[in-house]
Structure 1
Amino acid sequence: MTEPDAIEPDTKDWTWVIEQGCPECGFNPPEPTEVAQRVRATIPRFVAALQRADAAQRHDPAVWSTLEYGCHVRDVCVIFGARLHQLLSEPNPTFANWDQDQTAVADRYHAQHPGTVAAEYAEAAGHTADAFAAVRADQWQRAGTRSNGSQFTVATLAVYFLHDLEHHLHDVHG
């Protein structure tokens, strides 16, 4: 299988979507307590997108395929589940840097099996949704810091996480 061209890294700081929403994908920031339900709603949509015959095909060489986006959101669920755990179990944690573009290349997103990725996404999204659903009212304001210095609470992390999933559903027309 031929290695695809590298995608130009997205260097934008997307944290503004937490309060402003996203005009590109139509994201409206929910109350954090609504995040788990909306994450669960992404599962059948990503699974369906990954079942399309052209899921592994890049329609533009500079943009990930549905398969590559599926791998990314699967990993986003795992990373954000771990970050939520840190926020709930450590005082003022700092999240390790995660280079999503490096991960895509190193883990050969383009060569993974769409059916496997769909199942893994469903499991990871369900697990992370359950973790957000279990957050108690007194935990939503627990704080931590991303490696670039951005501050997050459990509440803002939840909204930021949801935007990533819903935005990429928009990207894959899911």
Structure 2
Amino acid sequence: MTDDCAECGFAYDLELAPSVASLAGEYAARYADLLLRTERSALARRAEAGVWSPLEYACHVRDVLLVQRERVLSARRTDTPVATPMGRDERVEHEGYALQDPSDVARQLTDAASLFGNVLHRLPAVDWERTLVYSYPEPAERSLRWVAVHTLHELRHHLLDARRRLPRPAGAEN
């Protein structure tokens, strides 16, 4: 089974895992820039029913970083814990993603990337191979190396999703 993403072109290279801490910070800065430089109405608008707005994608990524941090910490404390699903779809409504202030989300997303990155920076080499049972897309035992790379994929993929949902500037090419 390959985890590579045909939609965004992301390749799951597990050797990237140690660099994910700094890459997460770089992606968080890109989200923050998008959130702080785009009109709120454009950020909160859903282009079509059932597809998240750019603001909702940013909130989701913030929460992914926090959840993944806890999963990594859990795998360091316990042998092969089962990762509880984060309830990604329920969170959109339960936490009011579309109503959140973009500047707050930018700050929180940057902080979440820093917290996640700190946990990865502190992983001893042997702990990268610790495992947990990850439930998505189907239950499977995954290494912390995979969790880090999967989180990087989430950051990258959803930034593309968010940008695709924004109106194109006048004169922009397709």
Structure 2-normalised TM-score? Answer: 0.84
What does the per-residue CA deviation read over 1:75-106, in whole Å, with 9 as the maximum and x for residues that have no partner?
00110000000011111111112210011111
Matched, 1:150 2:140: yes
Matched, 1:132 2:120: yes
2:24 paired residue number: 39
Matched, 1:163 2:153: yes
Indicate conservation of the 8 Å contact 1:43/1:122, yes or no: yes
Matched, 1:29 2:19: no
Indicate conservation of the 8 Å contact 2:58/2:162, yes or no: no
1:119 paired residue number: 107
Partners of 1:43 and 1:170 in 2: how far apart?
Answer: 13
Alignment counterpart, residue 102 of structure 1, candidates 87, 90, 93 = 90
Partners of 2:125 and 2:84 in 1: how far apart?
Answer: 26
What does the per-residue CA deviation read over 1:9-50, in whole Å, with 9 as the maximum and x for residues that have no partner?
xxxxxx842xxx223112133421121121111011100111
1:63 deviates by: 1.3
**Which one has a larger percent helix, Structure 1 or Structure 2?**
2
Give the alignment of 1:33-72 within 5 angstroms.
Answer: 33-51=18-36, 52-53=38-39, 54-72=42-60
1:115 deviates by: 0.8
Query: Per the alignment, in what secondary structure is the counterpart of residue 86 of structure 2?
Result: coil
Structure 1-normalised TM-score? Answer: 0.84
Root mean square deviation, CA, Å: 1.7
- Mark the runs of 5 or more structure 2 residues left unpaired by the alignment: 165-174
Residue type of the partner of 2:5?
Answer: C
Deviates more, 1:148-157 or 1:46-55: 148-157
What does the per-residue CA deviation read over 1:111-163, in whole Å, with 9 as the maximum and x for residues that have no partner?
11111111100000111012112211111111111345221111111111111
1:168 deviates by: 0.3
2:167 paired residue number: none
Structure 1 runs of 4+ with >4 Å offset: none
Residue type of the partner of 2:27?
Answer: T
Deviates more, 1:101-110 or 1:72-81: 101-110
1:73 paired residue number: 61
Partners of 1:117 and 1:49 in 2: how far apart?
Answer: 11
Distance 1:165 1:94, change over 3 A: same
Partners of 1:96 and 1:23 in 2: how far apart?
Answer: 26
- Mark the runs of 5 or more structure 1 residues left unpaired by the alignment: 1-14
**Aligned sequence identity (%):** 30
